[in-house]
A and B are shown apart, each in its own frame.
Chain A
Amino acid sequence: GAGVSQSPSNKVTEKGKDVELRCDPISGHTALYWYRQRLGQGLEFLIYFQGNSAPDKSGLPSDRFSAERTGESVSTLTIQRTQQEDSAVYLCASSFGQGGNYGYTFGSGTRLTVV
């Protein structure tokens, strides 16, 4: 597609439920990133995928968070047993090559609200 597509755009879930967020990167972009933005705060790095290499999961805040990516296509971020502190906007970005040689393109995000 023309841009990075994320779905759903908004998600309200009850505490304790599992949620799955989806990111469809720009075709041909080998690198994909997930970031989290809590209200009034800066973006936090969560996870990075590059081609078929092992992902960098160093930013995932707990073992309730996991992410998958199939080859160089769609990625899903799963949060199990959601907590209220998980409420945030989850942003996905993709880039051509490692290190953002040509910059990063962000999706419009998924706003997650845990009630």
Chain B
Amino acid sequence: KQEVTQIPAALSVPEGENLVLNCSFTDSAIYNLQWFRQDPGKGLTSLLLIQSSQREQTSGRLNASLDKSSGRSTLYIAASQPGDSATYLCAVSPYDYKLSFGAGTTVTVRA
């Protein structure tokens, strides 16, 4: 059974600092990995999708890397802003389509 772990569980940084969020998974047979953002009381917003053949994806201040062989992904958020405060979820998609989610990293960016 796929296990997805996100470290740290919570993170508080001053505005302007770079954020590093880690995700690890136990079964490297994944189809893709997706990072989501979840605001309190809201659904999930997709941030970045990395196919298993890719090493990284970038969108604006966000960059996600994937090391499939070691079962790790890292989400970098550059120059954090208070609006980046949210819970960030990592999810892996196996060949049989069921998404396995980590418990998330709750980020607070202090103004």
Contacts and interface: CB of A to CB of B under 8 A. Distances in A.
A115 interface: no
B99 A33 contact: yes
B96 to A, nearest CB: 8
B37 to A, nearest CB: 11
Contacts of A65: none
B43 A107 contact: yes
A108 interface: yes
B36 A99 contact: no
B41 interface: yes
B4 to A, nearest CB: 8
Given A42-B104, A99-B31, A99-B93, A104 B42 contact: no
A91 interface: yes
Interface in A16-51: 31, 33, 35, 41-43, 45, 48, 50
Contacts of A42: 89, 101-104
Interface in B71-99: 89, 91, 93, 95-99
B12 to A, nearest CB: 18
A43 B41 CA distance: 14
Contacts of B19: none
B106 to A, nearest CB: 10
Contacts of A93: 44, 99
B32 interface: yes
Given A42-B103, A103-B34, A98 B44 contact: no
B7 interface: no
A43 B32 contact: no
B99 A108 contact: no
Contacts of A101: 31-32
B46 A103 contact: yes
Nearest to A107: B43
A98 B46 contact: no
